[in-house]
Amino acid sequence: MNNTNHDILVAKGCHGARKLKGTIVVKGSKNDALQALAASLLFGSPLTLTNVPAIEDIARLGNLLTALGVAITEDKKLGKKSLTLDTSQLHSATLDDDIAKKLRASIILTGPLLARRGEAHFPHPGGCVIGERPIDLFLDGFAKLGASITIRNGRYHLTAPRDGLRGAEIFFRNQTVTGTECFMLTAVLTKGQTVLKNCALEPEIESLGKFLVREGARIRGLGTTTITIDGGPLLKSLRPSYEIIPDRIEAGSFLILGALLMRELTITRCEPGHLDAVIAFLRSAGATIKIEPRQIIIRATPRQSYRALPLTTHEYPGFPTDLQALMAVFLTQATGESRIFETIFEGRLGYLETLARMGAEVHIHNQHQATVGGPTLLTGREVTSPDLRAGLAYLIAGLVAKAETIIHNVHCIDRGYEKIDERLAMLGFNIKRHHSP
C-alpha cells in the first residue's frame, strides 16, 4: 500500500445543500478482518479470507504476519479482495517494532503466537491517540493461562510453560472487543477449558467464532457475555474460507453522511441489524430511513430540520463510540442543544476544538462530556486528523461547510476507510487528494 502519511484531502463544502442522490457499497469490516488475519495462526492448513477491505491497518497486520513467516497471497475478483494465508513456514514469534508500535491491533497476534509457538515478543502496541489503552488486561490474562512475562527495554517477552498454556477463567473488568477476540483465539490452542466472562458482544466476534466452530474449534456461548472454549490442536480443513462481514461502522458513517448531505442515499451490502442504535438515533432526530435486506435507504429534504438529542456511547449493541465524532457533526446541524456523553474512552472529545474553529457551537465539560448547539453554519478550515474517526468527521464537516477544508494526516482516515475520497467523489462530492513528496 502506498505511504499516505503526507497526503492531504481538499473538500469543497456544499454549504448545507442536500441535492445529491446515489448508492454506495459497504466494504468488509476492518475489525473482523484484523481478527481473522490473526485466526490464520490457528490453522495448520491455508486459510482464505474474502471481502477483505484494502485499508492501511490490514496491510500493516499482513506485514507483521509476513515477517513471522506467514505466506500471504492476494486475489481480487469482481472488486472484492481475498487473501490466502499459509502458516506452515511460521518461524518467528517476534513482532516487528516499527509496525507494532503504530498498530494497536498488533496485540491480537500475541495470544495465538504464544499458544502455537510457546512464546511471543512485542513492543507496546500503538495506534490512535484517544485515551489510554493499557495492555494490563492482556498480561493478566496470559499470566492466568500460565505464561511467564518479563519486560526488557520496553519490550514484552511472554513464555508458555514447557507443556503449553493451560485453560483458566478470565473475567474482563470492562467489556473489551480486542481482549475478547485475542483470548478466544488463544484458548482454541490452549489445553483444557477456558471461560471468558463479561465478553464483548460485537457481531464480528460471533461471526468469526461460528466459522471457527465449523472448522473444528470447540466454542460455546457465542453472542453472550460468557464464552467457553475447550482447547485442542491446530485446526485443519481442506479449503477453509471465511467471508469478512460488512463494516457496520462504515455503514453508520454513510448513514450520517446521507442525513447531512444527500437527498437520497442507498447503502448496500450492509447488515442493517448491526446498526439498530444508529438508525434509532437518526430516526428520533427526524431522519427518514427505509430498511431492506442488505441495504438501507436514507432520505432528506433540503429544508429538513433535525432535532437535538442526547448522545451516550455504549458497548454493542449500544451507540458505538467509533461514530461519536461523526454524530457530533450531525448535531451541529440539529435544532437545540445536544449533550454528548462518551463512556468508553477518555480524551476522545478533543476533536470538538477543531469543529469549534469551523464555527460549531460546542463546550467541552470534561474528558467524557460535552454539549453541541445548533444549527450552526460551518466554515472550511485547514485541519489535521488526530485519529481515524475524527479524521472522517473533519471530512464530513468540510463537506457540510461553506468554502474549502484542507485535511492533513490523511493516513489516519486510510487506516479504516478504503479509498474514501474516490468513493465519495463518485457520489458527486468535490474531494481531491494531493500527494506530497
Catalytic residues: 128
C-alpha cell at 315: 458497548
Using an 8 Å Cβ cutoff, are 60 and 233 in contact?
A: no
Dist. CA 50–CA 244, nearest whole Å: 6
Dist. CA 51–CA 328, nearest whole Å: 30
3-state secondary structure the chain: CCCCCCCEEEEECCCCCCCEEEEEECCECHHHHHHHHHHHHHECCCEEEEEECCCHHHHHHHHHHHHHCCEEEEEEECCEEEEEEECCCCCCCECCHHHHCCCHHHHHHHHHHHHHHCEEEEECCCCCCCCCCCCHHHHHHHHHCCCEEEEECCEEEEECCCCCCECCEEECCCCCHHHHHHHHHHHHCCECEEEEECCCCCHHHHHHHHHHHHCCCEEECCCCCEEEEECCCCECCCCCEEECCECHHHHHHHHHHHHHHEEEEEEECCCHHHHHHHHHHHHHHCCEEEEECCEEEEECCCCCCEECCCEEECCCCCECHHHHHHHHHHHCCEEEEEEEECCCCCCCCCCHHHHHHCCCEEEECCCCEEEEEECCCCECCEEECCCHHHHHHHHHHHHHCECEEEEECCHHHHCCCCCHHHHHHHCCCCEEEECCC
Q: Give the CB-side neighbour count of residue 19, counting CA atoms within 13 A.
A: 8
CA-to-CA separations, 88 to 92, 143, 236, 328, in angstroms, rounded: 12, 27, 12, 47
Question: Is the alpha carbon torsion for 198, 204, 207, 208 positive or negative?
Answer: negative
C-alpha cell at 199: 465478553
Dist. CA 329–CA 11, nearest whole Å: 15
The vertex-405 CA angle with 401 and 407, nearest 5°, equals 135
